[in-house]
Amino acid sequence: MVDCPLNIDLGELPDEDPRLYAHAQVANIACGGHAGDEASMRRALEACARHGTRAGAHPSFEDREHFGRVELRVAPEVLRAQVAAQCTRLAELAREVGVPVRSAKPHGALYHAANREPALARAVVDGVVEALGAGVLFVGPGTGALREAAREAGLAYAREGFADRGTREDGSLIPRGEPGAVVTDVVVARENALRLALSGTVDTLCVHGDSPGAVDLAREVRSVLDVLALRLEPLGEGALRLVLPERLSRGGVLDALRALPGVGDVVVGEAHACVYFEPSAPPEDPRRVLARLVGHEEGAEAPRLVTVRVRYDGADLPSVAERVGLSVDDVALLHASCEYSVRGVGFLPGFAYLGDVDARIAVPRLSTPRPSVPSLAVGLAGRRTGVYPFASPGGWNLIATAVDFSPFDAVRGALLRPGDRVLFERVD
């Protein structure tokens, strides 16, 4: 599992989009050096409280005119006092709001100047510790003076990568103002996020809150990181189960996991996917495969609309009607009036779980399953309905029979895929 939280530089703009706090796991809050004042810091901290976002300090050179992006010559003892004063202002407000400040990250020109010059790095780290204590997490470049100073001070350190910044061949950032320095294309941001998170060289990724299209960039990067952090559970020696995020197309998940070398079978449900493989040759971590799907839903195969002709002659139709207080015809009408989506395929090969059933006819499954349900019987259980592809035991309420329908083929497999839409057409 990749644990690489998204940090976003925030509290810098008067028209800042509040949705950024929902995407951020850590908010680096401008605390007066390059931007921010008491009102903006309080707003940012209150947004962190609403969204459960961790708050961090974002000190800078005292340079509001140039937004902290011009390197200044400041004596280390003066810089230490400036950083301490900025972080202290944020910490005092944070105590009032009830949100602890758990991290610190220098901004802009200070980030790069201090990483080159050990004296400045020690001044920044000392100022942070003076204001926030030695339990704070320091965020900075992967190597350099800041990392060394933080380690000497006993601070935990997070190596940072930038999803919304362009890099040179040597891995260094393209300076702002040069072509390609700022990434505004969500596709590039996604690729950057996946590459950096899987590289093993970073512990956190950054998106700048003042970047053009910051909300879209942050949403895409957070989606990639969330998939990489999914919980993976072993099911014996030759199977894995993982929780699926809502956003991913279930059909896309099925195709991507089935295409993995060494995978024998895949079952995709509403909330989980199970991958079966030969224990001696486990496949690539499925989370990495699924992270590559983020943002590619538009290129996936379009869901199909499948019409299933049915006779409403199921053995349990009268008892279902009696239980919900409707006539048999009303139950059939409500069942056939919905357009369903395939939420998962499993239990039997080709058995598609269809939802959502009209709440007026939702009834629980039978207390005692039948030892045998005929093939093509249409069942009802809670807010789900489905067609039994084969004769089998089953506990769903039988309300109809499918006509001229083949849910499963020995060569082609299941007819219905997750995401497909289904209509039931009543026939006499």
Mode of pairing for the β-strands spanning 54-58 and 101-104: parallel
Q: Which pLDDT score is estimated for 299?
A: 46
Residue 17 has pLDDT above 80, yes or no: yes
CA distance linking residue 79 with residue 149, whole number of Å: 15
Size of the chain, expressed as the number of residues it contains? 428
Find the range with the poorest average confidence among 24-28, 180-184, 243-247, 321-325: 243-247
Give 265's pLDDT tier (boundaries 50, 70, 90).
Answer: confident
Tell me the two tokens of residue 410.
Answer: 């020995």
Mode of pairing for the β-strands spanning 26-30 and 137-140: unpaired
CA distance linking residue 198 with residue 284, whole number of Å: 13
Write the Ramachandran bin of 306: left for phi over 0, alpha for psi from -120 to 50, otherwise beta. beta
Share of the chain above pLDDT 90, in %: 73
CA distance linking residue 244 with residue 228, whole number of Å: 11
* Close Cβ partners of 211 (under 8 Å, ≥ 6 residues apart): 164, 182, 183, 184, 217
Amino acid at 227: V
Q: What domains are there in the chain, each with its CATH number?
A: 6-228 (3.20.20.370), 232-299 (3.30.1360.40), 305-426 (2.40.100.10)
pTM score, two decimals? 0.75
Torsion 173-176-181-187 (CA) sign: positive
CA distance linking residue 215 with residue 68, whole number of Å: 22
Give 171's pLDDT tier (boundaries 50, 70, 90).
Answer: low
Residue 297 has pLDDT above 60, yes or no: no
Q: Which pLDDT score is estimated for 209?
A: 93
Residue 185 has pLDDT above 50, yes or no: yes
* Close Cβ partners of 259 (under 8 Å, ≥ 6 residues apart): none
Which of 260, 252, 245, 294 lies closest to 419, judged by CA? 252
Residue 70 burial (CB count, 10 A): 12
CA distance linking residue 299 with residue 313, whole number of Å: 41
CA distance linking residue 102 with residue 132, whole number of Å: 8
- Per-residue pLDDT of 314-366, as tens digits, reads 999 999 999 999 999 999 999 999 999 998 887 788 899 999 999 999 999 99
Tell me the two tokens of residue 214.
Answer: 């910051």
Q: Phi/psi of residue 27, each to 5°?
A: -105, 115
